[in-house]
Amino acid sequence: MRYRYEKDVLGKVKVPVDAYYGSETQRALENFNISSIHMDALFIESYAALKMACAKANMHTGKLDKKIGEAIVESCRMIMNGGLRDQFVTDVFQAGAGTSTNMNVNEVIANLSIEKLGGRRGNYKIVHPNDHVNMSQSTNDTFHTVIHISVYKKIKKELIMSLDRLERSLMKKSYEFNGITKVGRTHLQDAVPITAGQEFYGYSGAILKARENVESAIKLLIEVPLGGTAVGTGINATPEYQKLAIKELNTITGERFRRSKNTFGMMQNQLEESAVSDALKGAAITLGKIANDVRLLASGPTAGINELVIPAVQPGSSIMPGKINPSIAEMVNMVVFQVLGSSRTIDEAAHAGQLELNVFMPVIAYNLLFSASILSRAADVFSQKCINGIKINESTVHKMLSANLSIATALTPYIGYAKAAEIARIAYTKNKSIKEVCLEMKIMEEAELDKILDPSLMV
């Protein structure tokens, strides 16, 4: 491999000659070889969109030479379209605040712009990563802003749509199963009847509520601290630039971001990110509860509940022939565990901020985007490969319903709680039905019992 030498405040740095990144990125590679996990592609594309907006604003105010500015804009456009993805190499676990990632973006844009202007990579006299690409900016305001842009777009375009599809799949099953009356269960014990349709209607309603909570939370991300630069004062950024940069950002992204009313407060804290994390956690918990129910109701087929028949997607055992597992629901559960863990990481990072800046933004950004991504995919796979193909084992449902002792609850208005409880106890100990015991005890006529104890009238 051939190298070029670049110089920074700490001295000379050897950089691969073909690399579009420069000295600060190279130092980050050497210092933070931790996980091989890089920032989400959407995060990089959003950073390029921000850099484009800033360049346009700086050209408009006259601070940035138009020839240099146009080269930067074209370079940003290339990155936004997925170009040079292999050049964004900084580890998620890096120097605080995301300086390494910001400089990685600045250096790639600078070197790409240098080439567009006829120069060779590393000749920062033509386009400088700090003086030109990072003009009127700081890592502290731009990285925070990019979290808002990328998380907002990721959730809006992926997760909300996935949850909507899952909610519709569950609602479709609710209609399909609405005529099937089954045993309800509380405390994992038999309870009064419910229809399978009502059970799935409950699932669809829970997902709908989770989606609405997520939609509400991401509205907080509309405010951004762009223009606050290092500590919120806006040093090196003119008021005109601050307005223009956000206006250009909205033109580029098609969204309606606005500058925070209190830039100091936003840059000191990660309140919006914490709120979004809580909403993602809520969605994960809801999804996990449904997956747990599916696994439980499909348990068996001979030694479990066996009310649901779920699609077989792959062999379930390397040793037991013919075994089929609830593989999709199990995958969903593992995604849920990961999202809960990511939420804890975000909470810890958010509360650890100090004074004018939270330096733990990179791990917050990564975990928010990662959680949104895996939740989106899990919800889609759950609906496509599990929920859509679920069927009811009606023979099992009918058998369990006919033996359900909790239908004695329907007798309470006529004979009181204590007498109904006595009948249920006798039925259980003598292995008889509620109706049989009532007839033996001459509680009421059979025709009246048939009407009162009809499960279909209890739902």
Residues 6+ apart with CB under 8 A from 318: none
Q: Which among 420, 410, 416, 413 has a CA at the least distance from the CA of 441?
A: 420
Q: Exactly one of 35, 317, 402, 456 is catalytic; which is it?
A: 317
CA distance 80 to 324: 44
Q: Are 427 and 434 in contact (CB under 8 A)?
A: yes
CA distance 423 to 428: 9
Tokens of 360: 């733990």
Q: Which among 180, 178, 189 has a CA at the least distance from the CA of 404?
A: 189
Angle at 395 between CA 390 and CA 398, to 5 degrees: 105
The pLDDT assigned to 14 comes to 97
Burial 215-239 (b: 16+ CB within 10 A, else e): bebbebbebbbbbbbbbbebeebee
User: 10 Å Cβ neighbour count for 34?
Assistant: 10
User: 10 Å Cβ neighbour count for 431?
Assistant: 8
Cis peptide before 301 (omega within 30 of 0): yes
The pLDDT assigned to 75 comes to 98
CA distance 305 to 328: 18
Domains and CATH numbers, the chain: 3-135 (1.10.275.10), 147-223+268-395 (1.20.200.10), 403-457 (1.10.40.30)
Rounded to the nearest 10 degrees, the angle between the axes of helix 271-297 and helix 160-176 is 30
SS3 for the chain is CCEEEEEECCEEEEEECCCCCCHHHHHHHHHCCCCCCCCCHHHHHHHHHHHHHHHHHHHHHCCCCHHHHHHHHHHHHHHHCCCCHHHCCCCCCCCHHHHHHHHHHHHHHHHHHHHHCCCCCCCCCCCCHHHHHCCCCCHHHHHHHHHHHHHHHHHHHHHHHHHHHHHHHHHHHHHHCCCCEEEEEECCEEEEEEEHHHHHHHHHHHHHHHHHHHHHHHHHHHEECCCCCCCCCCCCCCHHHHHHHHHHHHHHHCCCCEECCCHHHHHHCCHHHHHHHHHHHHHHHHHHHHHHHHHHHCCCCCCCCCCEECCCCCECCCCCCCCECCHHHHHHHHHHHHHHHHHHHHHHHHHCCECCECCCHHHHHHHHHHHHHHHHHHHHHHHHHCHHHCEECHHHHHHHHHCCHHHHHHHHHHHCHHHHHHHHHHHHHCCCCHHHHHHHCCCCCHHHHHHHCCHHHCC
The pLDDT assigned to 342 comes to 98
The pLDDT assigned to 1 comes to 84
CA distance 303 to 204: 28
The pLDDT assigned to 128 comes to 98
Rounded to the nearest 10 degrees, the angle between the axes of helix 327-351 and helix 271-297 is 160
Is 317 annotated as catalytic? Answer: yes
Residues 6+ apart with CB under 8 A from 459: 181, 193, 194, 195, 198
pLDDT in tens, the chain (459 residues): 899 999 999 999 999 999 999 999 999 999 999 999 999 999 999 999 999 999 999 999 999 999 999 999 999 999 999 999 999 999 999 999 999 999 999 999 999 999 999 999 999 999 999 999 999 999 999 999 999 999 999 999 999 999 999 999 999 999 999 999 999 999 999 999 999 999 999 999 999 999 999 999 999 999 999 999 999 999 999 999 999 999 999 999 999 999 999 999 999 999 999 999 999 999 999 999 999 999 999 999 999 999 999 999 999 999 999 999 999 999 999 999 999 999 999 999 999 999 999 999 999 999 999 999 999 999 999 999 999 999 999 999 999 998 999 999 999 999 999 999 999 999 999 999 999 999 999 999 999 999 999 998 999
Tokens of 383: 């609906």
Q: Are 382 and 346 in contact (CB under 8 A)?
A: no
CA distance 406 to 403: 9
Q: Which residue in the block uniquely carries the two structure tokens 């806006």?
A: 234
